[in-house]
Amino acid sequence: MIIHIVAGGPIENIPDLSQYNLEDVRWVGVDRGLLYILKNGIKPTVGLGDFDSVSKEELAWMQQQCKYIDISPAEKDETDNELALSWSLSQNPSIIRIFGATGGRLDHELMNFQLLYKGIKEKIFIEVIDHKNRLTMLSPGTYSFNRTNCYKYISFLPFTNEVKGITLKGFKYPLTNHEISWGTTLCVSNEILEESGTFSFTDGIVIMVKSKD
């Protein structure tokens, strides 16, 4: 099972959701994200959040269209997106993709990136997707990537203070057993030159970003 979460970020940053509306996907609408889902003709599994970014008329319409809406208080310890991610993790999915999590308030955007760490702890692949980027968090291991014209650039950023044993093969800028730390940009804006490339590291946690021009 795959879960797609749509948060209430700026709609211009959200890609065409129809291309992700697969048979085995369950959709979760977060606050105004539920409105985005419904207006795209997608049937949501659940709506979550305090819904403080929609009008009373919009909320009433959504309640008619979505059978399960859980309205939380505005004053709470978790953000709406964290509530949605916790609910999604409790369903034991194989993959979680999050849309509408970038381009709005910077504090929420940065927190959404940090929420990816929950995937590391639960060993579930979580990915943030917008109209230009795909972002995920990686634990130590070896990863293979095919070259694609859609996402030309790939960057590896340290989430922990240090990331050790970095090796890049098949990339424009290869590395062997290298180390990066906070404040270094060595592994930003790389490109895969061959049909595929491999990235590996032995210690730390990495944020990986695939980007379009």
pLDDT per position as a tens digit, 126-140? 999 999 999 999 999
**Mean predicted confidence (pLDDT) in 78-102:** 94
pTM, whole model, 2 decimals?
Answer: 0.92
**Mean predicted confidence (pLDDT) in 63-89:** 90
pLDDT for residue 202 is more than 90: yes
Where residue 44 falls among pLDDT bands split at 50, 70, 90? very high
In 3D space, the residue among 174, 213, 177 whose CA is nearest the CA of residue 197 turns out to be 174
Q: Quick count: other Cβ atoms within 10 Å of Cβ 35?
A: 24
pLDDT at residue 149 in the model: 81
In 3D space, the residue among 13, 16, 63, 24 whose CA is nearest the CA of residue 41 turns out to be 16
Task: Kindly report the average pLDDT of the chain as a whole number.
Answer: 93
Query: Where do the H-state alpha helices sit in 40-175?
Result: 56-65, 80-90, 106-114, 117-122
pLDDT for residue 77 is more than 90: no
Q: Write out the H or E segment, with its range, that includes residue 89.
A: helix 80-90
Architecture of domain 2-131: 3-Layer(aba) Sandwich (3.40)
pLDDT at residue 35 in the model: 94
Segments making up each domain of the chain, as ranges: 2-131, 138-211
Structure tokens of 169? 């093969």
Q: Which CATH code fits 138-211?
A: 3.40.50.10240
Note the pLDDT tens digit of each residue in 7-41: 998 999 999 999 999 889 999 999 999 999 999 99
Type of residue numbered 92: N
User: What is the longest distance spanned by two Cα atoms in the chain?
Assistant: 58
Q: Of 67-76, 128-137, 172-181, where does mean pLDDT reach its minimum?
A: 67-76
Note the pLDDT tens digit of each residue in 102-122: 988 899 899 989 999 999 999
Distance CA 51, CA 58 (A): 10
